[in-house]
A and B are shown apart, each in its own frame.
Chain A
Amino acid sequence: MTSDSIKNNNRNKNNSKNTTQWFSNITLLRESQIMKIHYITGVGALFVVAIHIMMRLIMPFNMSLEFENVILNYKNVFYALLLESILILIAIHGFNGLRVILLEIRQTQIWERAVNILVIVAMIGIIAYGTRTIIIANGFSLG
């Protein structure tokens, strides 16, 4: 680390504050609130995944992966809601964790904005696509 890099960092300091404020304005959340959500989703995901694993142990492993049995799972509304909650909790927890890791690697303004945008887009995209899958699979039984 040289003095020049420190000077550049000082110049970027004000820019980084603006980036942080910009992200906070979009999310309307402070970092402490984001981390509270991160901790809650982590504990919640642990709980619902444990239920999911226990339910998978009801039948032998090979049988549980057969197409008809998988569709039958989605017929059960409560199980579909369980899968939806797993999807939402893990998507939020995972992508926020990825955001934290990426922000620590580099601290330029462009990088931080790109990471924040991509994380939000990916989170929304994964949840949307997963919810679509659950709805279609649940509706499949009606067809």
Chain B
Amino acid sequence: MNIFKKDKRKEIKNESPLEIKRSNISTTTSSNKSSVKLRVFRINAVQNPNDVPHFDEFHVPVKRWTTVLDALLDAKSYQDSSIGIRYSCRMASCGSCGMKINGIPRLACYTKISDLDTNTITCEPLPNFPYIRDLVTDFSQFFNHHRSVMPFIQNKKADIPDVNELSEYEQSPQDLDKFLQFSYCIKCGLCYSACPTVATDLKFPGPQALSQAYRYFADSRDSDKSNRLKVIDTSHGIWRCHFAGSCSNVCPKGVDPALGIQLLRSHLLGISNSEKKIAKLQDRSLNSYREEEEEKEKEKEEEKE
């Protein structure tokens, strides 16, 4: 028996459970272990309307693949459990974790700390939304605007009441491609927070609602296009967009709301029936390459002749 060997079990008992867990984590990190300073916006607007907003700082360990959401949850778990934050899917699918990170609206689960290339991460609630608490904001107005554009298929010709006759909305792949991009919207609110018009005009529906108006307008299954256009054709509607492009810049799903707004405008003006241009699929297989080469050779021979 080695009397000089320390009994590790005794050492563990003296530590608190949280410290044990934290120390285990620190020993399992890679040799590239580092930490960043997390500045989190704090306010409790609901319980204390006179609360003064301020920033709390936390030092959190990070790895190469650590996201801002991971860092925030680390701070919430081990340093201050009162941090208010919304999150759900952790994979840029639900849109819950939208916040302003280092001055730009982003999804916290989709933003890696290594990509930010800084040791100080500032997390603030999304602009253009009222505060509830810390990083949690009120989305009521945002959803009201979305509801106002009637985001559902309206087709009076559908024989839905007659259950004996099953019917389907026939839609070709080409028809689907015209609006598919705009259907990827996850209602995260990043475009709404980045829009400069929303910052000044509370009645402006915002890029998300307008892009969804185009999504249903361009859907071949929808028959109520005129009513949709009337809803957005107002003095605080689609015409107050100044084409800043910030909405498309921050969209995490590639929806490009600015494109939808411009396409809708051309329809409203009646000067064109422009639709989203669909990229042509090119055959990149080896056979197609050989066929192209053969065609080029034939053209050269014809020119020589």
Contact = CB atoms under 8 A, between A and B. Distances in A.
Interface of A: 1-3, 5-6, 9-10, 13, 16-17, 20, 23, 30-32, 35-36, 39, 100, 103-105, 107, 112
Contacts of A6: 130, 138, 140-141, 202
Interface stretch (B70-78, B106-114, B182-190, B232-240): B232-240
Contacts of B234: 17, 20, 31
Interface of B: 45-46, 49, 128-132, 138, 140-141, 144, 197, 200-203, 230, 233-237, 239-240, 268-270
Contacts of A2: 45, 49, 130-131
Contacts of A16: 203, 236
A103 B275 CA distance: 30
Contact of B269 (A36, A105, A107): A36
A30 B202 contact: no
Contacts of B240: 100, 103-104
14 contacts: A2-B49, A3-B130, A3-B140, A10-B141, A10-B144, A20-B234, A23-B235, A31-B239, A32-B269, A35-B269, A100-B239, A103-B236, A104-B197, A105-B200
A3 to B, nearest CB: 5
B268 A32 contact: yes
A13 B203 contact: yes
Contacts of B236: 16, 20, 103, 107
A11 to B, nearest CB: 12
Contacts of A36: 269-270
A103 B140 CA distance: 23
A30 B130 contact: no
A16 B201 CA distance: 12
Contacts of B233: 30-32
A98 to B, nearest CB: 13
A28 to B, nearest CB: 14
A6 B131 CA distance: 11
Nearest to A13: B203
Nearest to A112: B235
B235 A103 contact: yes
B45 A3 contact: yes
A30 B233 CA distance: 7
Contacts of B130: 1-3, 5-6
Contacts of A35: 239, 269
Given A3-B138, A5-B130, A36-B270, 13 more contacts: A1-B130, A2-B131, A6-B138, A6-B140, A10-B141, A13-B203, A17-B234, A31-B235, A104-B201, A104-B240, A105-B200, A107-B201, A107-B202
